[in-house]
Every structure is written in C-alpha cells, then in structure tokens.
Structure 1
C-alpha cells in the first residue's frame, strides 16, 4: 500500500504543476493581448491629444480623457503631464487594484515641445478568473488521482491478493465465498456509480466554465465595437484631417487606407474619394511641394521616425491651394520595417498668410529705414555744400569740393567720374570747370560743349535733366577711354536761365532712379545760389584789385593821384600801422569841417565816433590782422548818416610799412541797394523784424521800469506795503510774460525755417506772418481784410519757406502803400489746388514790368534799398512746390496770386 500511496502523491503533484504552468501561460497570453490592445488604444488617443494640444484646448483634452476612461471599466487612471511636471489633464477611478499594467507614451507637438501620456490598466479581474480556473483544475487532478489510485488498488487486489484470500477462505469457510463475491460486486457497482456521478459534476463545471468564457468573449467583442464606434466618432468630428497610408502593397508611395476628420470640409473631397483613387492625394498637392512630400516619405521609411511637414493642397470647392501642417506617426513591425503611418493634417492657411504679412511688414520697415538713411545722407551732402558758401575760397575750389561731395555720397550709384560745366559767352557755351576721373582725353573732348550738343548740351538746351542708360546716338562726344557707361546730366538754374550742368557717370545699364534725380536737382539748386554769389564776389574782387592797382599808379604821379584822389566823392583815407591818418581826400576832411592837412595824424575813431582808443570791431584793425579787405556799415551818432566802410590792406611803396586804405561811402539813401549784393532777402526780412521786436518790447519795458521806480521810491521812504508790492510785482511779471511771448513768436519764425515739408494750414501761416509784421508797427495805419475759405485744404510744404514768400509779398504791398491803405488776403480752392490772393490799394505794378517782376535783382525800390531778390526767391520756392505765382490786374493797386497743390 505504501508504494501505491507514493505513486498517487507524485502523480497528483505532476498534474498540479502542469495545471499551474498552463495557468501561467494563459496569464502571459492575456497580458500580451491586453498590451497590444493598449498600444492600439494609446495610438488613437495620441492623435486626439495631439490635436487638442495644437489648439491649446485643455478643456477638450480633459473631456476626451474622461470619456475614454469611463467607457473602459478596466482603465483606472489616465493623465497628461507637461515637460515641467505639471498635470495638464487626468482621469482616475476609485477602486482597489490587485494587479495592474502601466503604459506611458511621449507625445511631441508644436516644434519640439512634448507631453507624457500615462495609463494604468487593471488586470485584476482577468487574473482572478485565471486563478479560479487553476484552482478548479487542481481539485479535479486530485480527484482524478484518487480515482486512479482506487482503480489500481482494485486491479492489484484482484490479480494478487484475491487468489490467496480465496484459498484461505476456501480452506476456512467455503460458504463465505458467495457472500464475499456479492459484497465485492456491490462495492464495485457503488464505486462505478460514484465515478459516474463525479464525471457528471466535472462535465457540468467544464460546461459552466465554457459558458463564462463565451460571455467574456462576447463582452470583449462588444467593448471593442463600442471603442471602435467611439474613436470613429472622435475621428469624424475632429477639426483636422486624420489619415493612414500603408506600405504593404506594391505602390511606391503607399496606399491610402483610411481618411477621416474634416477632410471634406477642408479640401472638399470625401474619405471614399481617396480610398477609390490611390493617386488623388498626391495629385492634389501643389506641384512645387510634391518633391519635398515624397522626400519626407522616403525619410520616414528609412528612419522609422515621425515628423512634421508643410505643403499646399488644392481645395475642390474653391480651386485654391491651402497650406496644411502634417504630423506623421509611423507604425513599425517587429522586424523594424515601417508598414504604415498615421497622419494628422490641419489647415494653417491663415497662419501662413499672417507670416507672409509679418514678413511684408519687416520688408516695409527695412525699406523705410533705407529711405531714412538715404534722406540723411542727401541732407548731409546738401548741408555740406551750403557750408562751402561760408568759406573763403574761389568758385573753382567750391565746384571741385562740390563734385567730390556728389560723387562720395554713399547711397547713390554714381561712378567716380563726373564734371561741372558753367555757361559762358553769348551765345552761351558749356565750359568744363572741374572734372574727376576719365584722364586727360575726356577733358579735351568735353572742354567746351555747345548748347544742344551731346547729353550735357541737350540738358542745357532743354532746361531739363537728361538720362542715358548707355552710350547711344545722343552721346555725340564719345571718348573710348570711358568704355560703356550711362549718364545723369542735371542743369543748374538761376532766374529761369541755365547757368551750368552737373554730369555724373553711371554703370552701363543702370536704371533711372527718381531719388538720385531728386538729389542732383537739390544739389543744382544749392549750387545755383553759390555760383551767382561767387560770381558777384569775383566781380567785386576784380574791382577791388583794379582800385588797388589804380592806387599804386596814383602814387607814381602825385599830382595826377591827388587830383584823382580829391575828386572821388567817397571819403578815402590812408592809415599807417598805428591807425593814424597819413592821407585823406577832400570829401573825408570836408565831412568833419576840416582841411585834408588838418586830419593828418588823427585817428578815424577820434573824428568819426568821438572816442579814444580802438573799437573791438574797428575795420582797420581787422584788415591788418587778416591781411584782406574788410567791409562793414557804420553810423555817425551826430549826423545819423550811415556809411559803408571798406578797408584794404596796403603796403607803402617807399618803406614797405603796412597800412590800410579806408573808403567810406554815404549809403544812407542806397543802403539796401548795396546789401542785395551780399545778403539774401530772408536775412534782410529778419533784420526788419528784429527792429520791430525791439519796438514792441519797449512798451512792456517801460511799464516794468515804472513799477521798479515806484518800488524804489517806496523803499527809500520805508513804505513797505505788501499789497502794493504784490500789485507792482504782478505787473512786472505780466509784462515779462508779454515780452517772452513776443520773443518766442519771433524765435519760432527764425527756428522754423527748416526745409522739411509737412502738412500745413495756410491760414495759420498767413496769420503768423501778419502777426510778426505787426510787431514792426507797420499795420497800425493799414486795414487788413481777411477773406478765408473755411474749407481750405492743407498743403505740403515748409512753414519757414512759405512764411518767407508771404513776408516778401506783404512787405512789398505795405511799402507800395506807404504804410497806409487796405491790405486784402483771400484764399480759395480750385480743383486739386488752393490759392492765396494778396492785394493792396497802392499805385499798382505797370504792365511793362509784369514779365520781369520775378527776375533776380529787378526792383522798383532801388532808391529805398530794394534788393530785387524777395520776389525772385518767392517764385523759386513756389515753383519748387509745383505751384505758380503771377501778377493779376487789380485797379487800383497790385495783386499777386499764389497757387499750390493740396497735400
């Protein structure tokens, strides 16, 4: 019996181990099945989370996680964690966990940012079922082993023990054999019946177990169906296009096996259209983007890594191309081969348009910066040119420096070759004064150019700029040394006449540039005044040289010199280095009631200014110190006569001693006539206004002086009345504010003489001009009638320049009326222009002068010092604004009408 019992125990253990191994295998298979199911679930969930993150919709993300978790009873926890560890969204089910499966997935989005998806799956219910089945199998194995043991025991007993017992029983009791056999038969039947009952129980248990498994499978199938329906609903309602392309077939670029989302809303095609036509997807992509799409697909197959790409796809509804951003996620087989990939494409057309608009804004900003830089260099060049006029140098030197400045300006595309011509002779011919680059031959070829010949002559004859992209038939004076080139030829105007031409060389094929033309026109405008002024100075210098030469000749013939010297109506005296008079003509001595001999050894300031010692601005001292002629105006305090005093450095021929020649001419009646040769009309106007300011400020100064005197008297009397003091000081403060207002208005007139143009109100400019003229007291007996158009539109111009124009015209009108009469100022609109009409009740302008009134130096007020520059400068300014200025008939009196384009 012992060996049999051992055998049964070992056999039972063998069956139990087999059942345990089978249960472990079933558990492993279950975990693999659950893991594969979770991989599929997390892949779909990743697409949903990626779409929500791209839209930054955390509420939608939380809703999607909650819906996903509640529909699967085995999912106990879901969470989406950002890079910094913060939980963006999550879901958790409150239930105890016996065993679980933990899954994580890293999801990238938005150019390198990523989040982590964490999922906990409860495997307890499934493992509990497996454990229960194992226990049943172990119990069955034990029962089976017991039955087998009983059967073996019966067989052994029947084959070995029964014959011996039968012999004993036959020997002891033959009659008991039959009873024993009946008992044994009864025992066998009962045992067989028990075995049959156990088999029935076992079969019922197995059938029950199969039924439970069938129900579990049916529940799994239903859950899978519901999960598929849920994700199909998500895919169909997501705002992006979701698709899948498989590479398991023969198509080199893959086959579209699934398209969902808003594909029909975005591109106008249904998902079935892409499934029925494998080439539809690639055919809708913009031809310029197909190569890059194919390249990214090849890279995906080669690397097995996902990525993001952008391309354009044609919309069926509009026919236009939309920009799509495509996020690709590859599916890799066990052997590392990409079998398919999921894609999520969203419409980024608006973002692309915004990026294009932003890039355009950047381009416009850079363009504005470049224009500002060009404007700065142009203004710097013009300013440098204008500073040359203040330096003491000859006209040729000024032109040479001016040409260097023109060719060295950074932003223009000029070559380092150019020249400046001046018109000389009658008929005028262009004479090359300065040139740079090109060598000697070009100077010989272009030394004299007739009007109408070659490019420069054509520019002078036509009075307009001539441009050439390259050497053409107009380029008659061709020099081979220059090679292919182009040219700008800008005429220089003065008083409506061409006085010269600026030419600069360009590279062959250079396109015409309006900004370069404007720069050359501005340079020509600045040079025109400098050339005219230098020509006048040269003429005057020649005159001075002639006088000096004449003086030297006079010393060689004393009588002839004395007669000539005394016959000169100007007061002339010769002074030694100590400023003592060594010679004087009759006009000089007669002015002081003396003879020429009586003024010898006297100093000029002792006679003329009734002072002793040398004044700081003494012209003789300056002429000796600077060794060049010095001119200034002086007023005799006794007679009130004004003299123009000029001193010339002089070397006495007998002793080489230094001295000066002093020439004083009475300019009381013709002061303004001489000033037109050395001053601009603008400075003359400002001088007149300065005297008006002094007159206007005298009134508040007188009031303040009276208050101060009253305060001093009270202080001397020890009468300190605070109320009286406060009243006097308040008067002084008010008068100071009044004086400050006057000076501020005057300074605004001076400081606002900028050439920068802006939108201007002509009524404000006219009122300010009349206010400043009023400071001079010249409107006290003049009636000003304003007829302003209330709807007058603004103009684009420089306030300083327009004030100068109105100041010249109104001042001329007041002069013509002898400071008494009616001055009318009217404004109005004509189409796209505005006009200003200024009229007076003076004697008017003769018709014979209408054509010359705007010519430089033409004046009808020579006896009162008119320069003839005011209206000429006004005409040049108005012409520069593309406006017009003309004389109108206005009996009695004169009328000048100015027309300007509106801003």
Structure 2
C-alpha cells in the first residue's frame, strides 16, 4: 500500500509556516510567494492551526474584514486532524472527504515533519492506479506472444513485484489445478528457497492457506504463521500471505500465493489488485486451454478474436479513465469538491470495468448468458457520452461535438447494461474516429447519440456522424471479422462484438453510410419490461 511516507518522499517534506501573531495579509503574501494554498500556524514552535486561502475567503472577505487588521490566530482552523508517516493514502482520502478538509499535517513522534493536500492524495492514488492498469495491460499483451503458460505465470509474479506501492516481499508462487484433480501444483515461483519449493510442490485442496483458498474460492490472508499454516519445514521464517484463488465460473483453476512480512496489515487496494490479476489470469488460462484443445480446429480463430476483442474493449474503457482524470484535474484547479468526487468515481468505475471485462474473456467465443436487469437506456447513453467526450475534445481538429438526443418516454426496460454500454461505446468511439480521419478538416464535425421509441415493440440507440463515411464495398463487409475502416488504428472487431451483443438481445444492427458525408449505426432492440 502507498503510505504518507511514500508520498512525502516524492513531494518533499518542506513545510511553510507562519506565527499565530502575524497578520492575515502577511500570510497571504507568503502563500503567494511560495505558491501554496495553506500554511501551518506555529506558536512558540508549537503547531496550533492551519490557515488557508479558504479561511481568508470565508472569514475576511465575506465578513467585510481587512487582512492587514486581522491576526492569523483569529481566523485559522484549530480543529486539526493529523496523520502519521505510516498511514495509508487511501485512508487519508476517506478522512479528507468525510471531514471536508483539504490539508493535513504529518507528525512523527509528535513533531511536524510534513503536510499533504487533497491534491497530493488524489494524484498519488491516480498514479498508483495507472501503474496497476499497466500491469494488467502487460499481462494481456504477453498472453498474445509466443510464450508458454508457465513462462507467463512467472512473468505475472515479476510484474506484481515490480509495483512500488505494493508492500509485498519479493517471494511468491502460482499454482494450477491439473487434470481436474483436487490438488494444486506449483507452476511458477519467485524468490523461494529449495525447502519451500519441495514442501509446497503439490498441495491438496483444503490444506494450508493455498489449499483453503482453492477449496473455498475465497481469498485467504494471514499476517503471521497461524494455525492455518499447516505446512512446516526446517528454517521457516515468520511471515504472512495473500492467497488468491484463480477462478472461472465455479471452477478453481489455481491460486496466487504472495508473501508478506509478519504483522502486515490487510489492505483493500492490495486485495483488489490481486483479484484483478487473478481474473486476468483466469481468462488467459482458459484461452490457453482451448488453444491447446482446438489447435487444428476452426474455433482457434474464434479464440484469437476473443482476445483481440477484449483488448479493443479495454482500449475504449481507458478513454473513460482518461476522462475521469481530466475531470479530477479540472476540479482541483477550480477547487470543486463535488466535481472532484464525480471524476474520482469515474476513475474507479472504469478501472473496475477492466477487471470485469477480463472475466468475460470467453464470452465472445461461445454462447453468452445475457444478464438482463431493469435499467434506463438513456442513462446508459449518457454514461457513454460522458466517457467519450474527452476523446472528442482532445483532437488535432477543432472540438468534435457530442450531441445528445434522448427520448424521455422510453423509461426502464430489460437489458444487459454492461454489454449494451460496451456495444454503444464501440459505436461512439468509431464515430469519433470517422471524424478524425475525415480529409475535410474544415468541417464542423458532430457525433449525435439518439435514443427513441420505434413502433410499439422496439426502441433504438442510434449513433450518427458527419465524418469520412464508407464506400459500398466497405459498408457491405463492415460486420465481418478484421474489416476495419481505420487501417492500423483499428482491429475490425469492435463492430463484430457490438453485433453479437445486439443479437444476444434479439435485436438488429444496421448501418447507413455515404462516402464524405458520414455514417449512421442503428441498434434496434425489443422492449422488454418484465421483472
């Protein structure tokens, strides 16, 4: 986990302070000169408060006072919440949000050693999430290389241990279940002594921490050698474990075993990251298994399409991550806590969606059970527009406008919201790309997203652009595998995936396009209003 100490090592421990008896004017002048938004207040070298630009705005300007006539001690915030060097950054974020504070002094044995702001915390969390996302992407990329599964598993451990904010020992292993047995076989390890590799070469389900993780399909955490640690060997050193099951559906495929120091505190972010890695490996293992079984079968091609299709979806979702970061940074500049929380939620949601997508790795190579639930098509369309707008703005052209035209009469219907979100995201992303590759750069490019009723039993999602359009020969093949209008920019699988999603909803996907004028894609779906 990332601690306050880690953050200060990057940011630095310099603290700007001012005496309690100084004037507010002097405090403002110091803040401006140092380029900071707050100062700690000292009285005889003792920390007594914090004064910020917000204190000045609320307690001087709004009350009609004068900064040169008012002392710092009269307006400073004295109800201080202090933190220690070993406190987790995630805990600081929760505390700042709950208490609505923006700065927190850092103490070590009662001595002031630093100060952190909510901007520091947000940037640290985003940075660590980006590193974690890079590891997941790297695993997916390696899975497409000419690499054995055992080599890939060892590479997975090395990638896990490469993340600086994970407080793991650089020791661990990955077990797989072989031949449908109820036993784990060690397939990859990093940093393990010979005695450990011998004792743990094969572990029955239910035995020791790894066996319990496999049997229960639940994570097992220990901060010491407790009674669950049944396997003992000469020279064993006190330690703890994260044992994370690798599961697909109701089947246990293996276990990731990571060593931690004795006394290590359980961290939700560490658990969530290891779950994301486990879900990724589950998809890769299942694909590898099918590749081996179907090496001379036509289905081998379908498996390759599945992997590439997943990468396409992840790339689209990353636009959502970038959108969330954009909103957070904008909110920080404008001191808008509400907008910052909105952006942060976008970041978390899109990172979680990557893990969910990996779990669906085989979903497009065999029949998929659609998870219908009551939801609003308009909300799905709005979420997609919000995700894609940053991409539409960040172009070499003038801003591509994303226009919404939603029918409020649709109401709630039965859909698989995650699948429809993914399909609509592909269409809007492709529409923006069609504008980007349009040779007529002087055109005012527009992407319009429409929802509407159509007849008594159907409704549609429609995405229209005025981009480059398609020739008839391309339009007639656009729903075939590997046919892309974007050259090296696309895989040609986005529309294939969207078409399959629509078919699973018993709907149709149509396209109308004219070269130089643009395209319209229409997802027509039946209205289902069951429970």
TM class by shorter chain equals 0.3 to 0.5
TM-score by length of 2: 0.45
Structure number with greater CO (CA < 8 Å, separation at least 6) is: 2
TM-score by length of 1: 0.28
